[in-house]
């Protein structure tokens, strides 16, 4: 009997060692692609490219890492690709907009994925989302937006640029006209300068990265911020939950804006081998704390407050399992309910 137990234990150890060795050797001589759901330029693109410069040294075999831009459908094109088409062997990962889980719950248009089944690798987290108007509008507060129309540029219906103005209109009573179809937040920024639009919902971090002077010289006038607490860069700008008139409105805005807590998330396709997922999560976490990566991110003016894959997965799970009554009201707010 003792011989049988010892042999069994030895076999298990051998299998475990073989599996570990296989995972360690897998990336040698291979390419690893990081898909980003945005066009070139912008915070997500910069995050993907910065990650690409440092991730390989934390993966055994040190694969060659390339970035593939896949904009379209308000982040749905890349999200659906990762869920349905991308290889499930760890050679393709992605960074998608943080609103992807919320869009699944509240809208569903274009969704061919289940956010809870993605293998979430972690998140770099960003500053709060904001809604701001171009300085020439003369608008100074949300109250003024209830009587004066502004025109906001957005990519698609799954994007923050579309979702947050829609919620502001339907919960707080603002008059924001949304023009969608831009390929990236960078294109919206150009449209602002050309006068095609005069407002935008996007991350405060994107202004820090690309146009910090728009904050300091008040080129953009911030109406509201979306997050769990006020960002210290704009401490006098209210959270949208602070402007809600009822507890129900506050809960609805909390659900719609809850994805802020997983800013700039990275994921792998579903149904991957657990040991490959563990390897990628470990590499992501090590990279997110790597002094070289952090110094590079600082040069790009990227805020990095990392979350682990488990932490992101838990937030996603809470989002997709929100209270049915809050989801129903939020769907109506977003124009996707009955």
Question: Could you read off the pLDDT of 304-337 as tens digits, one per residue?
Answer: 989 999 999 998 998 999 899 999 999 889 875 4
Percent of the chain beyond pLDDT 90?
A: 70
Convert 12-48 to b/e letters by CB count within 10 Å (16 or more is b): eeeeeeeeeeebeebbeeeebbbbbbbbebbbbbbbb
CA distance 75 to 269: 15
* Domain chopping of the chain, boundaries: 2-126+261-325, 129-259
Other C-beta atoms closer than 10 Å to the C-beta of 173 total 13
Please, what is the Cα angle at 129 between 314 and 227, to 5 degrees? 50
State pLDDT tens for residues 69-124.
Answer: 999 888 899 999 999 999 999 999 999 988 899 889 988 889 999 999 999 999 99
Other C-beta atoms closer than 10 Å to the C-beta of 267 total 27
- Check: pTM over 0.85? Answer yes or no: no
pLDDT higher than 80, residue 43: yes
Which phi and psi (to 5°) does residue 34 adopt?
-105, 110
Bigger pLDDT: 78 or 13?
A: 78
Nearest to 110 by CA among 123, 125, 97: 97
> What CATH number does the domain located at 2-126+261-325 have?
3.40.190.150
CA distance 91 to 280: 10
Find the mean pLDDT for residues 209-220.
94
pLDDT higher than 60, residue 21: no
State pLDDT tens for residues 121-163.
Answer: 999 987 899 999 999 999 999 999 999 999 999 988 878 899 8
Convert 317-338 to b/e letters by CB count within 10 Å (16 or more is b): eebeebeeebbebbbebbebee
Domain spanning 129-259: CATH superfamily = Periplasmic binding protein-like II (3.40.190.10)
State pLDDT tens for residues 172-186.
Answer: 999 999 999 998 888
Nearest to 305 by CA among 274, 260, 269: 260
If pLDDT is split at 50, 70 and 90, which confidence band does 24 have?
Answer: low
State pLDDT tens for residues 224-268.
Answer: 999 888 999 999 999 999 999 999 999 999 898 877 778 899 999
- pLDDT, residue 181, reads 92
């Amino acid at each position: 009997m003792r011989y049988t137990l010892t042999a069994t234990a030895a076999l298990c150890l051998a299998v475990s060692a073989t599996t570990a060795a296989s995972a360690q050797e897998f990336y040698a001589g291979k390419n690893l692609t990081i898909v980003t759901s945005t066009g070139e330029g912008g915070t997500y693109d910069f995050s993907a490219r910065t990650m690409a410069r440092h991730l390989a040294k934390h993966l055994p075999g040190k694969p060659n890492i390339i970035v593939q831009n896949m904009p379209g459908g308000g982040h749905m094109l890349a999200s659906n690709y990762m869920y349905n088409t991308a290889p499930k062997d760890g050679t393709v990962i992605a960074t998608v907009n943080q609103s992807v889980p919320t869009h699944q719950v509240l809208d569903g248009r274009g969704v061919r994925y289940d956010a809870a089944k993605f293998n979430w690798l972690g998140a770099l987290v960003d500053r709060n989302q904001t809604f701001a108007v171009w300085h020439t509008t003369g608008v100074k507060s949300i109250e003024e937006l209830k009587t004066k129309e502004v025109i906001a540029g957005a990519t698609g219906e799954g994007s923050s640029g579309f979702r947050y103005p829609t919620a502001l209109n339907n919960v707080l009573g603002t008059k924001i006209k949304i023009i969608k179809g831009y390929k990236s937040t960078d294109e919206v920024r150009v449209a602002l300068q050309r006068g095609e639009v005069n407002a935008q919902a996007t991350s405060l971090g994107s202004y820090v990265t690309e146009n910090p002077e728009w904050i300091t010289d008040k080129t953009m006038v911030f109406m509201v911020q979306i997050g769990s607490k006020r960002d210290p860069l704009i401490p006098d700008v209210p959270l949208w939950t602070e402007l809600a008139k009822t507890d129900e409105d506050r809960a609805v805005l909390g659900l719609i804006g809850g994805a802020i807590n997983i800013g700039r998330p990275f994921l792998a396709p579903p149904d991957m081998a657990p040991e490959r997922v563990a390897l990628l999560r470990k590499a992501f976490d090590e990279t997110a704390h790597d002094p070289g990566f952090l110094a590079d991110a600082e040069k790009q003016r990227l805020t990095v407050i990392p979350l682990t894959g488990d932490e992101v997965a838990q937030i996603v799970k809470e989002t997709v399992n929100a209270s049915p009554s809050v989801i129903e009201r939020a769907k109506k707010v977003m124009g996707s309910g009955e």
